Amino acid sequence: MNDGIPPLLQKAIVTVLAGGIAYGLTSLVGGGGPDNDLWKLTLSVFIGGATFMLQYLHQVERRLRSAEKRFDKHALEVKDTVGRGIERVNDSARLLQMLEDSSLPTEQVKELVTQAAQFRTSTPEIVHAFAQSEVTRLAKLVHDLRSGVARYPGEDHDWLLTLTRSATRSIDATSTSIDQAFWGTELGKSYLRAQREAINVPRRVAVRRLFIVGDDQSPDDPVIIGLRTHQTALGIDVRVVSMTDLDPKTKLEPKYNFIVFDDAVSYEMSLAVGEQPEPEIETTLITLQPEEVRRRKQRFETLWNQGS
Dump pLDDT digits (tens) for 235-244: 999 999 998 8
Query: Is residue 283 within 8 Å of 153, Cβ to Cβ?
Result: yes
Report the percent of the chain where pLDDT is more than 70.
72
- The helix (run of H) or strand (run of E) holding residue 207 is strand 206-213
Mean pLDDT of 109-116: 79
Q: What whole-number distance in Å separates Cα of residue 141 and Cα of residue 227?
A: 33
Backbone angles phi, psi at 158, to 5 degrees: -120, -45
Residue of 170 and 139 predicted with greater confidence: 170
Identify the pLDDT of residue 6. 64
Report for 34-38, 40-44, 124-128, 272-276: range of highest mean pLDDT: 124-128
Mean pLDDT of 106-134: 80
What helix, strand, coil percent values describe the chain, rounded to 5? 60, 15, 25
Query: Is residue 226 within 8 Å of 232, Cβ to Cβ?
Result: no
Q: By mean pLDDT, which of 26-30, 113-117, 211-215 is the weakest?
A: 26-30
Identify the pLDDT of residue 18. 59
Q: What whole-number distance in Å separates Cα of residue 58 and Cα of residue 63?
A: 9
Identify the pLDDT of residue 105. 73
pLDDT digits (tens, 9 = 90+) for 209-237: 999 998 788 889 999 999 999 999 999 99
Name the pTM for this structure: 0.68
Identify the pLDDT of residue 111. 82
Residue of 2 and 183 predicted with greater confidence: 183
Residue of 126 and 88 predicted with greater confidence: 126
Looking at the predicted structure, is the pLDDT value of residue 147 above 70?
Answer: yes
Backbone angles phi, psi at 173, to 5 degrees: -130, 140
Identify the pLDDT of residue 113. 77
pLDDT digits (tens, 9 = 90+) for 91-109: 666 766 766 777 777 787 7
pLDDT digits (tens, 9 = 90+) for 255-283: 678 999 999 999 998 776 655 556 677 88
Identify the pLDDT of residue 250. 77
